[in-house]
Chain A
């Protein structure tokens, strides 16, 4: 029976950070990384840029074989986890083989969540989660005349912009009342919407598809209000669901994702989880949430790796702070922190219509909870630290709001440079 001290399942950001963290503390312990991917590691976040043609599909890899060799990692591609037998510390792979682990990290990521719309299984549609998905979508975009994107999250919006730029007529259908719900506030979403409409896209927010059927060009979509849309290209980007089917009767507690504690440990001994498959606490509440963003995946992966290796330098996970950047039609939007308005929160907004610059900051007790900007550049990483450190901004608040870039840097230099 094959045995390994550390088993890492997955090969994207969380898994790679865990490998590095383990090797920082334990240079020798046997380390095996299995992934269902047959390609070298890459980031789901880069895929919209493969779709647009900005990134060549062969040039997006985060590590090469040399990295794994140098770190003495037994790196196995095309090896999907089938089942986890926690009772005997065994991971069963898709080919039926088993690996006995001392410690295992589940960094299996997520897959597109396909909404249960009648007829969706009868039509051809695209999703965007793997490099193959991206390559297929890239090829299809140039052929498309009438495209429909289901879901106005960042993945859907990125793809929609690419379709618009490729000359297709594009319709975005979103159930929520605004675009980029959960990422940006209504004002920022309005600016994003206007940019898309100005460039010829049709936005249907607060709208849902109730039925799909194959048609001559591709698919006919029927909306709630009875109207129909024809699509020669349909992208389903309505969110993701964690990959955790392998949990079976492992006893590992899970809800929307795999539930983890302050050092990414699961409810079962010797099992950790990190990244898009994990459900961990939020910085802003004790609730466990899906912190499905790249910076959090790296943070969680690092913490899990340190915990697995027994690194005494481990500091507990402070909780997820949402961090998002979004580039649309030559403009930048950044959001850092919570958008939820708790009791006693103070909201300050500034909008300059002429320049299109928008800033919104949320404070509580003169401490920053969240900050959002469109075309208003500030250092997101510095803002995140101001939130995490709960820095008292009462003395500098007005200056901070006038120039978050410079005053943020001044505070950084004074407090933690």
Chain B
């Protein structure tokens, strides 16, 4: 299996060309303040924007193949293309081979120079990234997940029966790999059994014990199973993967009860904001204004046109916070590092008591967006603050894990899918106001948690 590598990402929209990254790089690599000697080069364009020239640490590096002296090599462990000064003959052929200006003559040294991600520095991370005062540079370390998880056993059946472009397969495979084989899984009616967890033709779709409770009793059954295992002295992780309908509507009383009794289970909700596998009916997690098959769009009756759902969504994770669970968090598959951190914490917390993980799951079929846009829709939800990523423990209270400094207008999210296409300006204003209100509400809770004399 190949390896994933860390990378430096550049957001041109945040760059103001201050050059601090170049100064930091020149300082780290040459001991000077000379920006022309920086390995990262920011160049201005004619219209006031900024562009980037930086080694991409290519997978099939041209600079390496055209080097006649064997002075450039791709390091399999770090992914960095390394330059060997002793072997280099200063022929500059690498600069002719590279289409990205990633390796260039450093006039100060007379040799070529290129970014090595500062991988040998004590910090183990590039000097340019923390030097950027505007957050235009980020050091992406998601590869760690890929490299670790790749070695774990996939406990979900090969192939799947889900809709094209659904992120739930990703969630299933990652979650099951992470929790490992000593797990009992409950998947109540919904998309998760529909895509294969309960199996076909008398065999299960997972390599761990899985059962199919009713919508109403998932948490109760799972709590009983966990207790029985405890009684016979076996340490297992009791995991539920349920949909938002099964958790927030008919399954809520058993969920709330298990949380109140602090049962040692991990309850994951895959929130696609409706009963999507049975024909896209609304649930209490369906947002205001959204089209579903039971909140249609049309002429309506009695002179009242139908314009999608007329109520706001229930905020289930905040309700779970009010159960003072061992752990409550929201997550998104567009932010896998964040999701993994939370999964780790939830697994630990489930050994002490009730852990609740609420994952937002855009539904390509029910929300009506192209099948290749799932991550983009999930990302837009976070970037507009339509959903917020946070976690809660009784000790530390509630805190944002991916705060959004400059949220995009909510229309950026709404226009990414068809279920909001019909919205009137008034409805859009309502949704934007709700986003602001929700943010203020969560912020208050964050503030309370961090204030002196607040929750401890």
Chain A residues close to B by CB (< 8 Å): 13, 16-17, 43-46, 49, 54-55, 59-62, 294-295, 298, 302, 323, 325, 327, 332, 334, 336, 377, 379-382, 384-385, 396, 399, 406-410, 412-414, 416-417
* Contact status of A377 and B93, CB under 8 A, knowing A46-B68, A46-B69, A414-B45: no
Residues in B13-59 with C-beta less than 8 Å from chain A: 41, 43-46, 51-53
Partner of B99, one of A16, A294, A381, A414: A381
Partner of A45, one of B44, B53, B93, B98: B93
Interface centre among A17, A380, A413 (most CB of B within 10 A): A413
* Contact status of A332 and B43, CB under 8 A, knowing A17-B65, A325-B91, A409-B53: no
Could you tell me the distance between the alpha carbons of A416 and B46 in the complex, rounded to whole angstroms?
Answer: 18
B45 near A49 (CB under 8 angstroms)? Answer: no
Can you list 25 pairs linking A and B with CB atoms under 8 Å apart? A13-B68, A43-B69, A55-B69, A55-B87, A60-B70, A295-B66, A295-B97, A298-B62, A302-B65, A323-B93, A323-B96, A325-B91, A325-B92, A325-B93, A325-B95, A327-B91, A327-B92, A334-B96, A379-B53, A379-B101, A381-B95, A381-B96, A409-B41, A413-B43, A414-B51
Output the least CB separation between A46 and chain B (Å): 4
A381 near B69 (CB under 8 angstroms)? Answer: no
B68 near A43 (CB under 8 angstroms)? Answer: yes
Shortest Cβ-Cβ A-B pairs, 5 listed: A413-B51, A380-B96, A43-B68, A45-B68, A49-B89
Interface centre among A49, A61, A381, A399 (most CB of B within 10 A): A381
Residues in B88-117 with C-beta less than 8 Å from chain A: 89-93, 95-101, 104-105, 107
* Contact status of A381 and B97, CB under 8 A, knowing A62-B70, A413-B52: yes
Output the least CB separation between A402 and chain B (Å): 12
Chain B residues close to A by CB (< 8 Å): 41, 43-46, 51-53, 62, 65-66, 68-70, 86-87, 89-93, 95-101, 104-105, 107
B96 near A409 (CB under 8 angstroms)? Answer: no
A59 near B87 (CB under 8 angstroms)? Answer: yes
* Contact status of A382 and B43, CB under 8 A, knowing A49-B69, A294-B66, A298-B65: no
B96 near A325 (CB under 8 angstroms)? Answer: yes
Interface centre among B51, B66, B98 (most CB of A within 10 A): B66
User: In the assembled complex, which residues on chain B have CB atoms less than 8 Å from the CB atom of A377?
Assistant: 104-105, 107
A409 near B105 (CB under 8 angstroms)? Answer: no
User: In the assembled complex, which residues on chain A have CB atoms less than 8 Å from the CB atom of B41?
Assistant: 409
Could you tell me the distance between the alpha carbons of A43 and B95 in the complex, rounded to whole angstroms?
Answer: 17
User: In the assembled complex, which residues on chain B have CB atoms less than 8 Å from the CB atom of A323?
Assistant: 93, 96
* Contact status of A406 and B98, CB under 8 A, knowing A60-B70, A325-B91, A412-B53: no
Output the least CB separation between B222 and chain A (Å): 44
Partner of B66, one of A54, A298, A406: A298
Output the least CB separation between B103 and chain A (Å): 8
User: In the assembled complex, which residues on chain A have CB atoms less than 8 Å from the CB atom of B86?
Assistant: 59
* Contact status of A45 and B62, CB under 8 A, knowing A406-B43, A417-B100: no
Could you tell me the distance between the alpha carbons of A361 and B46 in the complex, rounded to whole angstroms?
Answer: 21
Output the least CB separation between B198 and chain A (Å): 36
Output the least CB separation between A390 and chain B (Å): 15
Partner of A380, one of B51, B69, B87, B95: B95
Could you tell me the distance between the alpha carbons of A49 and B91 in the complex, rounded to whole angstroms?
Answer: 9
Output the least CB separation between A95 and chain B (Å): 30
Partner of B96, one of A61, A384, A416: A384
B101 near A412 (CB under 8 angstroms)? Answer: yes
Could you tell me the distance between the alpha carbons of A385 and B100 in the complex, rounded to whole angstroms?
Answer: 9
User: In the assembled complex, which residues on chain A have CB atoms less than 8 Å from the CB atom of B66?
Assistant: 13, 294-295, 298
Could you tell me the distance between the alpha carbons of A60 and B88 in the complex, rounded to whole angstroms?
Answer: 10
User: In the assembled complex, which residues on chain A have CB atoms less than 8 Å from the CB atom of B69?
Assistant: 43, 46, 49, 55, 60
Output the least CB separation between B92 and chain A (Å): 4
A408 near B101 (CB under 8 angstroms)? Answer: yes
A379 near B95 (CB under 8 angstroms)? Answer: yes
User: In the assembled complex, which residues on chain A have CB atoms less than 8 Å from the CB atom of B52?
Assistant: 413, 417
Question: Which B-chain residue is minimally distant from A46 (CB atoms)?
Answer: B68
B104 near A46 (CB under 8 angstroms)? Answer: no
User: In the assembled complex, which residues on chain B have CB atoms less than 8 Å from the CB atom of A410?
Assistant: 43-45, 51
User: In the assembled complex, which residues on chain B have CB atoms less than 8 Å from the CB atom of A417?
Assistant: 51-52, 100
A13 near B65 (CB under 8 angstroms)? Answer: yes
B99 near A382 (CB under 8 angstroms)? Answer: yes
A294 near B70 (CB under 8 angstroms)? Answer: no
Given contacts A409-B101, A413-B51, 20 further A-B contacts (CB under 8 A): A13-B68, A17-B65, A55-B69, A55-B87, A62-B68, A62-B70, A294-B66, A294-B93, A302-B65, A325-B92, A327-B90, A332-B92, A377-B107, A380-B96, A381-B96, A381-B97, A382-B98, A384-B96, A384-B99, A417-B100
Could you tell me the distance between the alpha carbons of A49 and B70 in the complex, rounded to whole angstroms?
Answer: 13
User: In the assembled complex, which residues on chain A have CB atoms less than 8 Å from the CB atom of B96?
Assistant: 295, 323, 325, 334, 336, 380-381, 384
Output the least CB separation between B44 and chain A (Å): 8
Interface centre among B62, B86, B89, B90 (most CB of A within 10 A): B89
Could you tell me the distance between the alpha carbons of A414 and B51 in the complex, rounded to whole angstroms?
Answer: 7
Output the least CB separation between B288 and chain A (Å): 40
Partner of B98, one of A59, A336, A379: A379
User: In the assembled complex, which residues on chain A have CB atoms less than 8 Å from the CB atom of B44?
Assistant: 406, 410
B89 near A55 (CB under 8 angstroms)? Answer: yes
User: In the assembled complex, which residues on chain B have CB atoms less than 8 Å from the CB atom of A13?
Assistant: 65-66, 68
* Contact status of A379 and B104, CB under 8 A, knowing A298-B66, A399-B46, A409-B53: yes
Could you tell me the distance between the alpha carbons of A16 and B70 in the complex, rounded to whole angstroms?
Answer: 13
Output the least CB separation between B11 and chain A (Å): 13
User: In the assembled complex, which residues on chain A have CB atoms less than 8 Å from the CB atom of B98?
Assistant: 379, 381-382
Could you tell me the distance between the alpha carbons of A60 and B44 in the complex, rounded to whole angstroms?
Answer: 40
User: In the assembled complex, which residues on chain B have CB atoms less than 8 Å from the CB atom of A298?
Assistant: 62, 65-66, 97
A294 near B68 (CB under 8 angstroms)? Answer: yes
User: In the assembled complex, which residues on chain A have CB atoms less than 8 Å from the CB atom of B62?
Assistant: 295, 298, 381
User: In the assembled complex, which residues on chain B have CB atoms less than 8 Å from the CB atom of A295?
Assistant: 62, 66, 93, 96-97
* Contact status of A412 and B92, CB under 8 A, knowing A55-B87, A406-B43: no
Could you tell me the distance between the alpha carbons of A399 and B43 in the complex, rounded to whole angstroms?
Answer: 13
User: In the assembled complex, which residues on chain B have CB atoms less than 8 Å from the CB atom of A379?
Assistant: 53, 95, 98, 101, 104
Output the least CB separation between B225 and chain A (Å): 45
Interface centre among B44, B46, B70, B90 (most CB of A within 10 A): B70
User: In the assembled complex, which residues on chain A have CB atoms less than 8 Å from the CB atom of B70?
Assistant: 59-62
User: In the assembled complex, which residues on chain A have CB atoms less than 8 Å from the CB atom of B97?
Assistant: 295, 298, 380-381
Question: Which B-chain residue is minimally distant from A48 (CB atoms)?
Answer: B89
Could you tell me the distance between the alpha carbons of A409 and B68 in the complex, rounded to whole angstroms?
Answer: 25
Could you tell me the distance between the alpha carbons of A323 and B68 in the complex, rounded to whole angstroms?
Answer: 14
Output the least CB separation between A159 and chain B (Å): 14
Interface centre among A382, A408, A416 (most CB of B within 10 A): A382
Could you tell me the distance between the alpha carbons of A412 and B95 in the complex, rounded to whole angstroms?
Answer: 14
